[in-house]
Structure formats: C-alpha cells, structure tokens
C-alpha cells in the first residue's frame, strides 16, 4: 500500500525558532500533498495544498509567510514553521494522493510540535 512518512515525529523548540517538517511518499509519486493542523480534540484543518514545482495554495486564514511550504519533488514536501510561538503548538499532518486518485489521501504519521 501507499506509505507516507513524516520527520520528525515530534519536536520541542524555543519560541522564536523555526522548525522544518518533512513529508515523503515512500512508494509512489504524489502529484499533490496536503498539510493539515489538528489541535487537541479538534478536527483536521487544511492549511495548504502543495503541488510539485509550483507555489502552494494556502487556505483562508493561514499565513503563507509563517508556514513556508516547499514541494521540491514528486515525493517530498516540507513545511517550515517560522518564528514559532506557543500558539503554533499542534499536531501537523501531511497527506498525499496519487495521480487520478484524488478520492484517497494517504496520511503521514504526523508531527507533534511543542513550542516553549
């Protein structure tokens, strides 16, 4: 089956620092990758849609300069949380789908970010 990995699985950082999260599709080429954020006991909120070789599309209310997304290849997308603050502490999850398979998204295991 399709496998998506994320690295790191958890990170603790000081306020003001930047954190980079990687999302990789291990056994398929992902035409599109998605980044979600989930606060405790809440739903997944789509942050942005990332297409290889083009600029990410951000959802309303998500600051593109704060959450930098780079989709360098068909198997790798990165999310950088710049100048992280405690309110950015959350569970960040990426997902990917295959060409022609937009109805099935394969989720990575998620990254827990704690900003002190």
Partner 1 sequence: GQSLEQPSEVTAVEGAIVQINCTYQTSGFYGLSWYQQHDGGAPTFLSYNALDGLEETGRFSSFLSRSDSYGYLLLQELQMKDSASYFCAVLYNFNKFYFGSGTKLNVKP
The answer to the question of residue 8 lying near partner 1 (CB under 8 A) is: no
Contact positions with partner 1 (CB under 8 A) in 47-66: 49
Q: Torsions phi, psi of 86, nearest 5?
A: -55, -35
Nearest to 75 by CA among 20, 21, 31: 31
The shares of helix, strand and coil residues in the chain, as percent rounded to the nearest 5, are 5, 55, 45
Q: Do residues 90 and 114 lie in contact, with contact meaning Cβ atoms separated by under 8 Å?
A: no
Which of 43, 54, 61, 87 contacts partner 1 by CB under 8 A? 43
| Contacts with partner 1, 92-111, as mask; x by CB under 8 A | -x---x----xxxxxxxxx-
Nearer to partner 1, 69 or 108 (CB): 108
What is the C-alpha separation between 52 and 29, in angstroms, rounded?
A: 10
Q: Output the smallest distance, CB 96 to partner 1, in A.
A: 11
Nearer to partner 1, 78 or 105 (CB): 105
**Residue numbers of the site for partner 1 (CB under 8 A)?**
32, 34, 42-46, 49, 93, 97, 102-110
């Amino acid at each position: 089956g399709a496998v998506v990995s994320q690295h790191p699985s958890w990170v603790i950082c000081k306020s003001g620092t930047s954190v980079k999260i990687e999302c990789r599709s291990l056994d398929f080429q992902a035409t599109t990758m998605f980044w979600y954020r989930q606060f405790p006991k809440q739903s997944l909120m789509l942050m942005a849609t990332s297409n290889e070789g083009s600029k990410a599309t951000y959802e309303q209310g998500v600051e593109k300069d704060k959450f930098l997304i780079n989709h360098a290849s068909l198997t790798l997308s990165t999310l950088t949380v710049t100048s992280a603050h405690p309110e950015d502490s959350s569970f960040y999850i990426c997902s990917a789908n295959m060409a022609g398979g937009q109805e099935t998204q394969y989720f990575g295991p998620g990254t827990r970010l704690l900003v002190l």
